[in-house]
Amino acid sequence: REKKRSKYNSLYADCEKITSALLKSRTGEFDLESILFLKLRGLGIHDLGCIGECMNLERLDLSGNNITNIAPLSPLRLLFVLNLSANRISNLEPLRSCESLQNLNVAGNIISCVENLHSLASLRKLENIRLKDNTYNYSNPICRNSLYRNTVLEMFPNIKVLDGERVVGRGSDLYQLCKDIDDTIKAGVYKNGQLVEHSDSKPWVEESFWEIKRSNNAIVEEAYKQFNDVIHECRLLNNRASHVISQTERSMSLKKQPKQYAI
């Protein structure tokens, strides 16, 4: 038992580098080419080691590590979801050969200029890029440029989602529809120019409606995390919107008050 425990501890003490033993123990797969989904989040990894031997890897999460060199990822031609957020990456050149890549998250790194993104221009299937994430306060130096967003959209004309915000397709149409509905509802709560309070209003669904049960399945677990991230971001946006609306209503009420003159 002591030998087994010692072997286990030594295996995970060396998480700074990805080894075949680490990959096999995390996935239960004996053959590295059989691994399709891999999550190695927050393990202190700085050396990607033999990750390139997982030739059939489709989804990879390496967020929250100390990675600077991503050259070992270049053989992963079937990879379509890659999370490299919260690392120390400045060069994305090795991803040029990941021709199947659709979803890339590099928020919270040290990508400093637009030139660092040119290597991704050849990835025709890439449609979702995240360079900053307000939910976790992740960003990159490039995001400080006032022209950053327009430049990225011009560089990647096929992009559908940038930094979690849908820029084309049904999502943007849905956003506009929701905005129109909100405007209509807001207009309906005014009567004779006065704001009508509705103290008996109730939520559309129960508080636990959006909660889902956890699962041991790695893919479902990742979907659960992404879903909760979206819900959290929506709540933040809702709080900001409520604050802006209350300020606007207060300003409008002050403007409607009759001016008083001293006699």
- 189-248 pLDDT per residue, tens: 555 555 555 555 566 666 666 665 555 555 566 666 777 777 777 887 787 788 778 777
Residue 149 has pLDDT above 80, yes or no: yes
Do 51 and 142 fall into the same domain? yes
Instruction: Assess whether pLDDT exceeds 90 at residue 138.
Output: yes
Q: Are residues 238 and 182 in the same domain?
A: yes
Q: What angle do CA 87, 117, 62 make, to 5 degrees?
A: 25
Residue 87 has pLDDT above 90, yes or no: yes
Region 165-172: mean pLDDT is 65
| Domain coverage including residue 64 | 2-167
- Confirm if 88 and 64 have CB atoms less than 8 A apart: no
- Same-domain status, 149 and 176: no
Q: Which has the closest alpha carbon to 83: 113, 251, 67?
A: 67
Amino acid at site 35: I
Q: Is residue 6 part of a domain?
A: yes
Would 261 be classed as within a structural domain?
A: no
Instruction: Check whether residue 143 and residue 235 sit in a common domain.
Output: no
Tell me if residue 205 falls in helix, strand or coil: coil
Q: Residue 98: what pLDDT?
A: 96
* The pLDDT of residue 227: 75
Is residue 34 domain-shared with residue 147, that is, in the same domain? yes
88 and 150 both lie in a single domain: yes
13 and 89 share a domain?
A: yes
Say if residue 47 is in the same domain as residue 175.
Answer: no
Q: What's the pLDDT at 31?
A: 93
Model confidence, pTM: 0.64
The number of distinct structural domains making up the chain is 2
